[in-house]
Structure 1
């Protein structure tokens, strides 16, 4: 199913002789995914999650583009559960080399490997998998959503700052839970920490009624500890852990203190203005996936503005250069890592109602930028496609 959002958002305001008119078509390609059942339905997933961020980025691009003769369009392609994503991508690539992908990691790789996509610029705005930035990286796939490794490193920096040395973890069985748990373990090792005990969440009962009875007994076996880490990326059981543990200890990870790309409680550095514009547009709060899609659209806009070109090779070279900077409302200019295509960015550490800290924390130094203390740094990268 295909919908078109806005044929042209801005007319050329500058004189025709000042700038050559450029058309920049962008396609938002989404693969519908079956959501596994969870214990609570308190947080329904917005139907336009991700897409709404791309639409706000389109509006932002048009503000500048209207003065320069740059006309941005956004086409939305929604592939159903039983649809053919590769065929949809091949069709999309006949109309635009710029595609924002909202799909699982494996599906994104299938699109990136298409012969038609080799000269395109694809943006991953939905998958946290660190492997997409490592062994399975692709030179035509850039990542505006932070990786699990970046999120885990942000949390571990805070753990060290608080001197919480004794760590335990509860993890779910879903694939996203497992990959986030793996990243937490790897990050703990990276920062000289250790997760002493890990328990798998095994319950499928209604925790709305049983949490006060089941969780204390379940966590009693973990013994004493400073912090309980939760790997529950589906947000299934984690909400029932806090205040029900055997030991009265803080929780962090997927619930409690959470490392995120974006959250409604981020208000500094001009973020409140971005938040309010998003709410005005979409009548809801901005999510991390919205931010990832917004950043992808804005990266295209920034590159087109600076190069006055719509050529994919020209834009890719600029995006991966030292000259590229994106104002991401996080207190620092954002840029892309040349070794794996990941957008460098601070990671807010938030609770439901407050920004607690933002990583990188003070004291974590790096010869290039402190942002590279988060996630896969160049010496440890296993990505070969960008070399």
Structure 2
């Protein structure tokens, strides 16, 4: 009985306390024009809703689109000597695709989205027309694999437009010299760069006496010119030159190797004493016949045997293994130099966009041409653009078909600004006027 009375007394006290709290709340509540203090309770849900995180969250940022165009001119080329050298259909294109993928890996964190479009045609005029149309629609960066004259005509067609052409295939020195253009850059090394890289290694080995063998095609003659320049530049001597007269039609016939086995020793017989046979055969029509068949037991270098290239499928240094694996996963084949050059061209745009945090064409070009710019290329150093001809400076690999032998520039070949500028035409040597205007 006493327990029940105590419980009732505590319940009564609690009720009094609740009524007191409510009364105080009514006294301090603001009086509305329509409903007094009651209006506070009615308006509270609306006020809470207006201050909720979802309502106050900022709008999503607009994704900036950066389209890149790859233009490729279909042109007839002689079949290479080896079936292993047949060019894949996606040569260069797969390299650019990997570059787009790499750009978007960073771009998605910066609200930037890169895309690749490809136009191909054997008709130069039609290809130029298609590229101009794409540029007028908003594309600013055009990667090209075209004939030299087509490149110059394309540059003229795009003059005055916000567009930059990046050559990833042509090695012609004239495109960096007297025929240079202010709207053309080059990730493909020039013939002079390739010849200088090879010459530095041969001179470092003290193989200073060269027997030069060149083919009849125009590219062979141009590469031979680059080798002559490199020999003079680095102190080698060409003891004799011989032109190989190529006759096709029977190289895959039964007994073809027997004819070659008899012809090559005779062709290289009675040469002055030399240390290395240097061959200029850009079409791969006969150069691979020379190793192990010369009259004198000598190494072969140039376009066959020991070669200088921008990339090699066996390189493992500087993260090269994972880079090679990513490309092989994408393309189901090994990366070739032209693929690497196209990847570099795409990455130049991506690197500039991420560094400037901009998709504006003028911002990107100004940064790429500035001394601040460099791009990683799995070669141990940053790669940058020469301000006198638009050439991307880079180390050049010296390799056999199976393995990396060396990397040029070689030790001991010094330069007052960058050792990379010992490869190719240096600023005091340039005939390019477009970049200095």
Report TM bin, short chain.
Answer: over 0.9
For 2:61 and 2:168, locate their aligned partners in 1 and report how far apart those are by CA, in whole Å. Answer: 31
CA contact (8 A) 1:119 1:140 kept: no
For 2:130 and 2:159, locate their aligned partners in 1 and report how far apart those are by CA, in whole Å. Answer: 12
1:15-56 CA-to-partner distances (Å, cap 9, x unmatched) read 987965311010011110111245443421111001110000
Distance 1:211 1:312, change over 3 A: same
For 2:376 and 2:206, locate their aligned partners in 1 and report how far apart those are by CA, in whole Å. Answer: 33
* 1:75 pairs with one of 117, 126, 136: 117
Larger Rg: 1 or 2?
A: 2
In structure 2, the partner of 1:176 is: 219
In structure 1, the partner of 2:406 is: 357
CA contact (8 A) 2:68 2:115 kept: yes
Deviation for aligned residue 1:268: 0.2
Pairing 1:205-354 to 2, within 5 Å after superposition? 205=248, 206=251, 208-354=257-403
Q: For 2:392, what is the secondary structure of its paired residue?
A: coil
Structure 1: gaps (5+ residues): 1-14
Q: For 1:272, what is the secondary structure of its paired residue?
A: helix
In structure 1, the partner of 2:49 is: none
Alpha-carbon RMSD? 1.7
Structure 2: gaps (5+ residues): 1-56
CA contact (8 A) 2:203 2:235 kept: no
1:142-200 CA-to-partner distances (Å, cap 9, x unmatched) read 00111111000001111110111211111111121111111111111111222121111
In structure 2, the partner of 1:4 is: none
Relative to its length, the structure with more helix (as a share) is 2
In structure 1, the partner of 2:85 is: 43
In structure 1, the partner of 2:149 is: 106
TM-score, reference length from structure 2 = 0.82
Deviation for aligned residue 1:111: 0.6
For 2:221 and 2:62, locate their aligned partners in 1 and report how far apart those are by CA, in whole Å. Answer: 50
Q: For 2:247, what is the secondary structure of its paired residue?
A: coil
In structure 2, the partner of 1:136 is: 179
Distance 1:201 1:383, change over 3 A: same
Give the number of aligned pairs: 373
Q: Which runs of 4+ in 1 moved over 3 A?
A: 15-20, 37-42, 115-118
1:278-309 CA-to-partner distances (Å, cap 9, x unmatched) read 00100111111001100000000000111122
Distance 1:357 1:39, change over 3 A: closer
CA contact (8 A) 2:194 2:423 kept: yes
Deviation for aligned residue 1:81: 4.8
Distance 1:219 1:78, change over 3 A: same
